[in-house]
Amino acid sequence: MSDLFRSAIHARVSKLPPLPAHHDDEEMEDGDEEAEAADSIGDLHPTMPAPTRYPRKRMPNPDYAPISASNYFEQASQIIVEPSDLDFRAYYTPPKFEDGTVFICHHGAGYSGLSFALFAKEVARLSKGECGVLSLDCRGHGKTVRIKDAVTAEQEDLSIDTLTNDLVNLVSTVFPDPSKAPSLLLIGHSLGGSVCVRACPGLQEKKYRITGVAVLDVVEEFTLEALPMMHNLLDARPDGFASPEDAVEWHYITHAIRNVESARISIPSIIKPNPTGQSPAYVWRTPLRATAPYWSSWFTGLSSKFLSARTARLLVLAGTERLDKELMIGQMQGKFQLVVLAGVGHMVHEDDPAKLAEVLVEFWRRNERVVVGVKKVGEV
């Protein structure tokens, strides 16, 4: 599963329509690149150094300077989704062909859609443009904001039902006609995996064609076991950082993210300037401690819902982790494909985006470009 769990246990469409946008529907321009370079319950390493509550002042290290996402996604747009009262931030690279597939990517708690940046570029390369990637900032994260009913970050509703409805509403807004929409492959990391699994039947009821659902590094039983330790793990994080470079460096040297290029793209999107104007200069954008009332509901029932999804199913885990009983039985019955990636932590899509893209494109080919006589994953 994840280093998060280990820590806790040790402690105890070429012609597809462009993204509809109320405003800011553009390719990523220079001004936006700078902004992108500046937005989890993450992978907190058990041997990380003690947190620095007020980071020391020093010159930012250029080796950890933010990188623009413009070379990884073709578009960055704000999308008005009125049923959710949200102005969604979404990053999109469309498929190059009318019969292409779009990978819908949902990040984990505390992260943002930019965590799939390197993965998106690899998918486009490996699929030769047949697959596109749409990666979103979910409610209370990144650059997604309320339209009318402004609330504080601590008051934001991050219940699993709300997040699931948000994803269904976003897809319905981006692709309003299911009969003309591309096929969709739902990919979710940690919390995002739970959202994608639950959104799958809702999208199918609306007649969207779902090629498959892929869950990245989360197993219900062991995640629920780890939750009591989450406050201790959050205590191990700094309150903030002196600069975006310091935030990137902290994530890299603690192995929260093991790919420095990906960290330089994604980490600046999960911090923001301190609104008080005091030290530390940058603080976390999403207050994870305030989400504690939702933690259990995020993952309860995940295994059964994953196994009952009426589409191909893929579970990708980091390291040689165990399955819970329900998943173990499902695997023996051939109900889903299991892939274990070596040399990665909880952020599998950031740590080794090329390998994960290879796995997902192969999964897509097997289940979307079906050869007569070859069963789809999950077919008995």
- In this predicted model, what pLDDT tens digit does every residue of 285-308 receive, in sequence order? 999 999 999 999 999 999 999 999
What percent of the chain clears pLDDT 70, i.e. is strictly above it?
81
Q: What is the mean pLDDT of residues 17-46?
A: 42
| Sequence-ordered list of residues with C-beta below 8 angstroms from that of 326, at least 6 positions apart, any chain | 220, 303, 304, 307
Inter-residue long-range contacts of 168-173, CB under 8 Å, 24+ positions, other chains counted: 168/199, 168/202, 168/203, 168/206, 169/81, 169/83, 169/84, 170/79, 170/81, 170/84, 170/88, 170/90, 170/136, 171/104, 171/199, 171/203, 171/208, 172/206, 173/20, 173/79, 173/80, 173/81
CA–CA separation, 221 vs 300, rounded Å? Answer: 8
Which alpha helices (DSSP H) does 158-288 contain, by range?
Answer: 160-174, 191-205, 220-226, 230-235, 244-253, 260-266
Q: Taking CA 360 as the corner, what is the angle to CA 356 and CA 366, rounded to the nearest 5 degrees?
A: 145
Assess whether 217 carries a catalytic annotation: yes
Taking the domains of the chain in order of start, what are their residue ranges?
A: 3-343+353-368
Inter-residue long-range contacts of 54-59, CB under 8 Å, 24+ positions, other chains counted: 54/239, 54/279, 54/280, 55/238, 55/240, 55/241, 55/242, 55/246, 55/279, 55/280, 56/242, 57/242, 58/242
Choice among 20-24, 115-119, 193-197, 359-363 with the minimum mean pLDDT: 20-24
pLDDT band, residue 81 (cuts 50/70/90):
very high
- For residue 347, give the amino acid letter: M
- Cross-strand bridge partners of residue 186: 104, 213
Catalytic residue among 346, 349, 351, 352, which?
346
For 361, the 3-state DSSP assignment is: helix
pLDDT of residue 340 exceeding 80, the answer is yes
CA–CA separation, 269 vs 206, rounded Å? Answer: 32
Assess whether 190 carries a catalytic annotation: yes
Q: What is the pLDDT of residues 222-273, one digit of tens each?
A: 999 999 999 999 999 999 999 999 999 999 999 999 999 999 999 999 999 9
Closest CA to 229 of 58, 15, 2, 51: 2
Q: What is the mean pLDDT of residues 140-156?
A: 90
CATH of 3-343+353-368, one of 3.40.50.300, 3.40.50.1820, 3.40.50.720, 3.90.1200.10: 3.40.50.1820
Closest CA to 181 of 65, 112, 243, 94: 94
pLDDT band, residue 152 (cuts 50/70/90):
confident
pLDDT band, residue 319 (cuts 50/70/90):
confident
Catalytic residue among 43, 87, 217, 324, which?
217
Q: Supply the pTM of this predicted model.
A: 0.86
pLDDT of residue 122 exceeding 70, the answer is yes
